[in-house]
Chains A and B, each alone.
Chain A
Amino acid sequence: TQLLEQSPQFLSIQEGENLTVYCNSSSVFSSLQWYRQEPGEGPVLLVTVVTGGEVKKLKRLTFQFGDARKDSSLHITAAQPGDTGLYLCAGYNSGGSNYKLTFGKGTLLTVNP
Chain B
Amino acid sequence: SQTIHQWPATLVQPVGSPLSLECTVEGTSNPNLYWYRQAAGRGLQLLFYSIGIDQISSEVPQNLSASRPQDRQFILSSKKLLLSDSGFYLCAWSQQGLGELFFGEGSRLTVL
Residues of A within 8 A of B (CB): 6, 30-31, 33, 39-45, 48, 86, 88, 90, 92, 97-106, 108
| A104→B45 CA distance, assembly (Å) | 9
Interface check B97, CB cutoff 8 A:
yes
> Quick one: closest B residue to A30, CB to CB?
B98
- B42 and A42 contacting across the interface, CB-CB below 8 Å: no
Residues of B within 8 A of A48 (CB): 100
- A105 and B101 contacting across the interface, CB-CB below 8 Å: no
Residues of B within 8 A of A108 (CB): 41
Contact of B100 among A40, A41, A45 (CB under 8 A): A45
Contact of B98 among A31, A41, A45 (CB under 8 A): A31
Contact of A45 among B32, B49, B101 (CB under 8 A): B101
- A42 and B32 contacting across the interface, CB-CB below 8 Å: no
Contact of A98 among B45, B97, B108 (CB under 8 A): B97
| A106→B59 CA distance, assembly (Å) | 20
| A98→B98 CA distance, assembly (Å) | 5
- A33 and B92 contacting across the interface, CB-CB below 8 Å: no
Please report the number of residue pairs spanning A and B whose Cβ atoms sit closer than 8 angstroms: 64
Q: List 21 A-B contacts (CB under 8 A).
A: A6-B43, A33-B101, A40-B106, A40-B108, A41-B103, A41-B106, A42-B92, A42-B104, A45-B101, A86-B42, A88-B44, A92-B97, A97-B57, A97-B97, A98-B97, A99-B51, A99-B94, A101-B94, A103-B45, A106-B43, A108-B41
- The number of residues on chain B lying at the interface, defined by a beta carbon within 8 Å of a beta carbon of chain A, is 25
Classify the interface of chain A: helix, strand, loop or mixed.
strand
Residues of A within 8 A of B90 (CB): 42-43
- B59 and A100 contacting across the interface, CB-CB below 8 Å: yes
Interface check B46, CB cutoff 8 A:
yes
- A42 and B41 contacting across the interface, CB-CB below 8 Å: no
